Structure 1
Amino acid sequence: MDALDVSRWQFGITTVYHFVLVPLTIGLAPMIAIMQTVWHRTGNEQWLRATKFFGKLFLINFALGVATGIVQEFQFGMNWSEYSRYVADVFGAPLALEGLVAFFLESTFIGLWIFGWGRLPRRVHLACIWLAAIGVNASAYFIIAANSWMQHPVGVTWDPERNRPAMNDLWAVLTNNTTLAAFPHVIAGAFLTAATFVACIGIWWMARNTWRAKKLREAAETGDTTDLPETTSPSHIDATPEDLERDAHQLWRPVTRMALWFIIAAGIGVAISGDTQAQIMFEQQPMKMAAAESLCETATGAPFSVLSIGRQNNCDNIEHIIEIPNALSFLATHTFDSTLQGVNELQAQYQQAFNMPGQNFAPNLFVTYWGFRAMITWALGSVVVALGGLWLTRKKRVVESRKFGLVALWMIPTPFLANSSGWIFTEMGRQPWVVAPNWADPDGNPMQIHMLVQDGVSNHVAATVWTSLIVFTLLYGALGIVWFLLQRRYVIEGPSNSDAKPPGDGDDESDSDEPSTLSFAY
């Protein structure tokens, strides 16, 4: 592989890895703020325990997200210097706003929230987590605004002296209709991820508590404790069956029910925003959507392909096995008889418009087709959790099935995979463009503002990029293991009973500089 191929692999690997962490951060911050708000308004100590427990998991994720995000920034200048020079006048503003406004807001108030327990007034401390949550989501907006400009460049004019676009309307860049469609979709996906994360952990803990309570009663009746496993959870050590069942009903059930309804709301948001985004993509990037459906030939009343197979990554050997008549036209325009352009016609159109007869303008059909379907399929894991969890916790019941508790744990990765699949489809579907052309010219001609991927790479030898790719992959692999082990440790450990006592209520330990009741500096 040449430097271009290796640079693409490196950026893809680091981006997908980083975005595994991002949705949980975006969605979990507001959910923790809601938990703390409920405790603040009701005084219910169980919501305080939930706040501190999920806050601990959030901070682990946030720290690693920051570390991996920094690498993203460096890659622009290191491996994609020509691209960075080309988009510098445009990207400077949204990325500066992301750093100066959003990131400083979230990092400052997360710090105050971490170290402010018992030291700040409760209302001020509550405001800190809300401001951090606002900062996290604002950060996402500015990043998406920059990315959306690559999908649909607006608010710029061509600067012939510097041979690159110059931004003349920041507001147009920030309110790009592509941004306004993509942002709700990304945020809804993030809430789906975080809500599934919280709900699955809550379901597992409900099943664990009820099972252990049952075993404790059996041991008390028979005097045989051989079947009672050891536990390291603070809430299980010396706990009576009544204590465990109380936690299941009063702590885990309310938190889980909240998360399950969040899944339902987020799922509806994902579907609605995804439909809006798809219609915009059919207009702005018809090649991406044609490739996503393996629509090789232009069709009126185009069918939606449920399953296609092929021996090659092109239109020569694609066979549609299962189709829904007229459904693709409806998804694209909300009419059943609209005409959609196919890959072959668009290929000829692009070659003529850009005077590049040898250039392949179609993205990887296999990746776009299956990436789009993987995104939808993985999201169904959250649906399973929501429907099963709401059914098993109806009428003040708690989850008692250990099997469903284990199923819930296995469903935790599904929304993460759905988010990653969606971004792989979005970015790979834009190929071969790194800045896609805006076809908004009144005469139907493409704007001068566009850039092919091969024109944006730095002038490195492949060995240089190979070295950084191997180093980053190994480093990220090690960080991934650390992230998993930390999350696993604290999920299994669970919330401490001491977390139920509000900090700063006269307890000597809570007034000290060392929060001894916590597992790490939080």
Structure 2
Amino acid sequence: MEALDLARWQFGVTTVYHFIFVPLTIGLTPLVAIMQTIWVRTGNETWLRLTKFFGKLMLINFAIGVATGIVQEFQFGMNWSEYSRFVGDVFGAPLAMEALAAFFVESTFLGLWIFGWDKLPKKIHLASIWAVAIATNLSAYFILAANSWMQHPVGTTFNTETGRAEMTDVVAVLTNSTLLAAFPHTVTAAFLTAGTFVAGIAAWWMVRLVRNGDSEKARTVYRPAVMLGVFTMLISGVGLGITGHAQGQLMFEQQPTKMAAAEALCETEDGAAFSILAIGDLTNNCDGVAHLISIPGLTSFLANNDFTSRIEGVNDLQERYEEQYGEGVNYIPDLTVTYWAFRLMIGLAAGSVALALAALWFTRKGRVSDNKWLARIAIWAIPTPFLASSFGWIFTEMGRQPWVVYPAPGGVDGVWLLTERGVSEVVSPTTVVISMVAFTLVYGVLAVFWFRLMKRYAVEGVADTEKDYSTDNPDNRPDPSDPDAAERPLSFAY
């Protein structure tokens, strides 16, 4: 394999692996902040116990997300040095903003939250976790600003002397229409992931306690967590549908090849149907592709709210792009990957839907349930939004191919870059293989530790009691000179 193929594999492996943890961090941090807010406002110890329980899981996920994300920056400068040379003036700015304005805030206030249980007043400590929640989402905004520019470059000129893209309008980059569509879709997906995570774990515990005869703890501790998770799923699910439709319409306009490939739409059609199942050789020449199950006119409606509108097929788009950008390049992304990634992204959301419906039914009218099917649905539903988010990311990135910087319709002349031209000219295939194997092994070890830690603390459950160690309650503060102190404020974090 050539260095280009290996570099794409390495970036794909590390990016998808890292992105597994991102949605949970984005969505769970605000939910933990909400739990702590309820405790501060009501004084109900249950919500303090839930805060610390899900706070443990949030910290584990946050740590592994940071560790796996660091690798991304190194790849830009090494495997993809030609890409960095071309877009560094633009791409580097939002990444720097993310590090300075967002990640430092996250780190600082997360430290205050972890170490401040017995050193800060309640409200100051609460403000710390809210600062982390806001900064986490701000961090996502800046990262998506960089990615959205790759999908739709704006606020830029092409310097013919240096052969580089140069930023001319940072406001345009930070208000890119692609970004304004991608950010709410990503955030609602993150809240769906976190809501499913909270509801799934709490529902499993609720069923377990009821079956063991402890209905009181199930009712007072885990049922409220189930309800918080379910309501989060319902609200974010509606938001996900709305934002996904808006983003899809924008993609039909800005990246028609991606959306045509997502439907395996070979020829231009009026009133294009939405394909539920296609068979055949989904190669880029479309030979032998047959749509067995489809919904008439739905793809046209998704594109521009008109069931009869015309949608260009990949064959016509290939001809158009050859006229615009030159022959000898296959401008259509891999149909197999885009077609199935798009459907798995949507279809896997069924796990969250099933859990929400089951939880609402079995907990109606204030009930708690011992139904084993609810516990099974809860466990099996937890990974589905993680997988859906990963397939969504694969669809977004693979659907952009063969471009690493997609040419904006009617955009800036020269500000586009084929993926094959972004790879380093000096990094050898052997070097990429060695680093990819090393990263994969390290990531595999980290995955084992992440899963075992998450499982350990999830199975451990919510503590039977928690004390308020804040400076508002000096009588509860532990004696630092006592080596046998039963409950240290930091015990929840380790």
Following TM superposition, by how much is the alpha carbon of 1:508 offset from its aligned partner in structure 2, in angstroms? 6.3
Match of 1:469 among 397, 415, 436: 436
Secondary structure (helix, strand or coil) at the match of 1:321 reads strand
For structure 1, which runs of at least 5 residues remain unmatched after alignment?
A: 214-243
CA positional deviation for 1:516: 3.3
* Contact 2:7–2:79 (CA under 8 A) maintained in structure 1: yes
8 Å contact from structure 2 (residues 120, 470) kept in 1: no
List structure 1 segments (4+ residues) > 4 angstroms apart after TM superposition: 500-504, 506-509, 517-522
Match of 2:99 in 1: 99
Matched with 1:287 is 257
Q: What does the per-residue CA deviation read over 1:92-149, in whole Å, with 9 as the maximum and x for residues that have no partner? A: 2111110000001111100000000021011100000000100000000000010000
Aligned with 1:322: secondary structure?
strand
Alpha-carbon distance in 1 for matches of 2:144, 2:310? 30
Give yes or no for contact 2:114–2:490 (8 Å, CA) kept in 1.
Answer: no
Verify: 1:332 aligned to 2:303, yes or no: yes
Indicate which of 221, 229, 239 corresponds to 1:269.
239
AA of the residue aligned to 2:414: Q
Q: How many angstroms apart in 2 are the aligned matches of 1:511 and 1:118?
A: 11
2:158–2:413 CA contact under 8 A, matched in 1? no
Q: Distance in 2 between matches of 1:67 and 1:151?
A: 26
> 2:386 is matched with which residue?
416
> How many matched pairs?
487
TM-score by length of 1: 0.91
* Contact residue 158 and residue 414 of structure 2 kept, 8 A: yes
In the other structure, the counterpart of 1:218 is: none
In structure 2, distance between residues paired with 1:326 and 1:517: 59
User: Contact 1:503–1:510 at 8 Å: present in 2 too?
Assistant: no
Instruction: State the Cα deviation string for residues 448-495 of structure 1 (Å, max 9, x = none).
Output: 110000100112211110000000001000000000000000001012
**Structure 2 Cα separation of the partners of residues 83 and 510 of structure 1:** 55
Q: Displacement, 1:56? A: 0.5
Q: Percent identity?
A: 57
Residue by residue over 1:8-49, the C-alpha shift from the partner in whole angstroms, topping out at 9 and shown as x without a partner, is 000000000100000000000000000000000000000000
* Secondary structure of residue in 2 paired with 1:317: coil
Match of 1:250 in 2: 220
Which residue does 2:111 correspond to in 1?
A: 111
CA distance in 2, matches of 1:336, 1:312: 25
The offset of 1:209, in angstroms, is 0.6
Per-residue deviation, residues 308-358 of structure 1 (Å, max 9, x unmatched): 011242311111101111111000000111111100000011011112x22
Letter in 2 for 1:474: L
Instruction: Please say if 1:512 is aligned against 2:477.
Output: no
TM-score by length of 2: 0.96
Q: Which deviates more from structure 2 when the two are superposed, residues 482-491 or residues 398-407?
A: 398-407
**In 2, Cα distance between equivalents of 1:72 and 1:354:** 29
Secondary structure of the residue aligned to 2:307 is coil
Q: Which runs of 5+ in 2 are unaligned?
A: none
The residue number in structure 1 matching 2:37 is 37
Query: 1:332 and 1:252 mapped to 2: Cα distance?
Result: 42
Contact 1:439 1:447 in 2 (8 A): no
CA RMSD after TM alignment: 1.4
CA distance in 2, matches of 1:382, 1:159: 48
More deviation in 473-482 or 491-500?
Answer: 491-500
In structure 2, the residue matched to 1:2 is 2
Counterpart amino acid of residue 244 in structure 2:
G
> In 1, are the aligned partners of 2:118 and 2:477 still within 8 Å (CA)?
no
Matched, 1:381 2:341: no
Contact 1:118 1:511 in 2 (8 A): no
Cα distance 1:312–1:395, how it changes in 2: closer, same or farther (>3 A)? closer
Q: Distance in 2 between matches of 1:395 and 1:323?
A: 40
Residue by residue over 1:171-220, the C-alpha shift from the partner in whole angstroms, topping out at 9 and shown as x without a partner, is 0000000000000000000000000000000100100111111xxxxxxx
Q: For residue 52 of structure 1, what is the aligned residue in structure 2?
A: 52
Please tell me whether the aligned partners of residues 46 and 500 of structure 1 are also in contact (alpha carbons under 8 angstroms).
no
Rounded to whole Å, the distance in 2 between the matches of 1:413 and 1:469 is 26
Does residue 321 (structure 1) correspond to residue 292 (structure 2)? The answer is yes
Larger Rg: 1
Note if 1:425 corresponds to 2:395.
yes
Q: C-alpha separation between the residues in 2 aligned to 1:520 and 1:338?
A: 57
Work out which of the residue numbers 334, 352, 364 in structure 1 matches 2:323. Answer: 352
SS in 2 for 1:499: coil
Deviation at 1:85, TM superposition (A): 0.9
Q: Distance in 1 between matches of 2:177 and 2:256?
A: 16
Residue equivalent to 1:205: 205
1:231 matched residue in structure 2: none
Match of 1:165 in 2: 165
